[in-house]
Homo-oligomer: A and B are copies of this chain.
């Protein structure tokens, strides 16, 4: 095994160090002199660009328009909605000086942009004809975290934030769920993540929201990662900001609002779900480069053939990389695995004489001998197969780590002995939710809407209203 792979800590030995090793060795990120901020290197940024491009198309197909709001929020504007400011003020960064002078009013770098959008909505919404207003922005936000981890928790976060305004409550709730579904489909179909979808509890919902819906992904170690949220605001912000529209009956009314977002954290979820001791593993539908071609030796015929194969693949829209460096074949193979290219094709002089190449799939490391003429069809087939296999493998693992507890004792036992999510009947009272957290350290992840609860809350003995997942989280 080449040094580059030896440098990666074993996943089962130290999961946290394994994760940062994979992030760094595969050239996704680097640390910088700016504490708490990371550099997203070209290979990592290419994954984000693919995510952006797919999601942006979905947003536009559903009628959303991109725009760009200011990055600063004056303190008085942040203060307008009381629940919202209480949630965010403790973790913002404040700009106090500009152009060599103390500012009259300090401004924070946006931790999210609800108040900026509301300030704009107040000016442009007059009538029901102006609704729905379906906006989105791709930008960077800042939340002053104490401890950070690449992609998962960072002071600067690249994300998109959708902000919409609607005539009716029903339409706004439908929008909240529609965007959650777009996130869910994207994460299942492209990222191969078997996510669990549900509603946050009152305690865990977004500051200022009436309801928060969430996508919860389970990492290899059983921890939960909140991997996208969609919020229904009712008209709380509209009232606080005085946003009113003339409805179809010529009466003034407050519109109903949503917001929803996903971040570069999704890259962290990809790594913590699919990658292994050899490095990164990427689902083909999100990998910037699908096939890494490695010529063995310096035989000109081999190099020529490698170029020819690469050209044929590129012409079919299959992205490639040719490793023409002077490194040893063993090093190139290891590096190909660290980088998580879904397939690598090896070709030496002997293979050339036999009209064959070796294809190695990254997910299973299986080697497949293929004749020249079968390369194209085999590559397509394998890419589809890897995409499906990664999803199924993750689903199986996730299912093996889903538990259900019928009593607090059983919950405590599972929380202590097992990794994963624990489902439990719950009455809906925050005190019972907090009791579980105090006893076990586990927080509620989401209320599943697929199942209705029967029986009692095992904490207080009252009627159970919900089936709720609990778990440890990033």
Contact = CB atoms under 8 A, between A and B. Distances in A.
A96 B94 contact: yes
Interface in A80-96: 90-96
A158 B129 CA distance: 31
B94 A67 contact: no
A414 interface: no
Given A93-B97, A109-B109, A146-B99, A70 B124 contact: no
Nearest to A115: B33
The quantity of this chain's copies bound in the complex is 2
Contacts of A135: 42
Contact of A109 (B30, B65, B70, B95): B95
Contacts of A272: none
A39 interface: yes
A38 interface: yes
A352 interface: no
A119 B49 contact: no
Contact of A116 (B32, B72, B119): B32
A107 B124 CA distance: 35
Contacts of A70: 32, 34, 37-39, 156
Contact of A94 (B97, B123, B325): B97
A97 B66 CA distance: 31
Contacts of A40: 67-68
Interface string A148-164: 00000001101000000
Nearest to A264: B68
A317 interface: no
Interface in A184-211: none
Interface in A12-68: 30, 32-35, 37-42, 44-46, 48-49, 65-68
B69 A39 contact: yes
A358 to B, nearest CB: 27
Contacts of A92: 98-99
Contacts of A182: none
A131 interface: no
A30 B97 CA distance: 25
A440 interface: no
A140 interface: yes
A144 interface: yes
B120 A32 contact: yes
A146 to B, nearest CB: 7
A74 B96 CA distance: 15
A310 to B, nearest CB: 16
A401 to B, nearest CB: 33
Contacts of A68: 39-40, 45, 48, 158
A90 B100 contact: yes
Nearest to A96: B96
A139 B71 CA distance: 11
A73 interface: yes
A77 interface: yes
A94 B107 CA distance: 10
A412 to B, nearest CB: 33
A339 B99 CA distance: 35
A95 to B, nearest CB: 5
Interface string A105-128: 011010000001001100110000
A34 B46 CA distance: 32
A90 B99 contact: yes
A40 B66 CA distance: 9
A140 B71 contact: yes
A90 B139 CA distance: 26
A46 B95 CA distance: 30
Contacts of A74: 33-35
A73 to B, nearest CB: 7
Nearest to A69: B39
Enumerate the 9 nearest inter-chain pairs by beta-carbon distance, A residue then B residue, closest first: A99-B144, A37-B70, A42-B65, A98-B144, A34-B70, A40-B68, A94-B97, A93-B98, A96-B96
Given A39-B69, A68-B158, A96-B97, 4 more contacts: A30-B120, A40-B68, A94-B97, A99-B144
Interface of A: 30, 32-35, 37-42, 44-46, 48-49, 65-74, 77, 90-100, 106-107, 109, 116, 119-120, 123-124, 129, 135, 139-140, 142, 144-146, 155-156, 158, 325
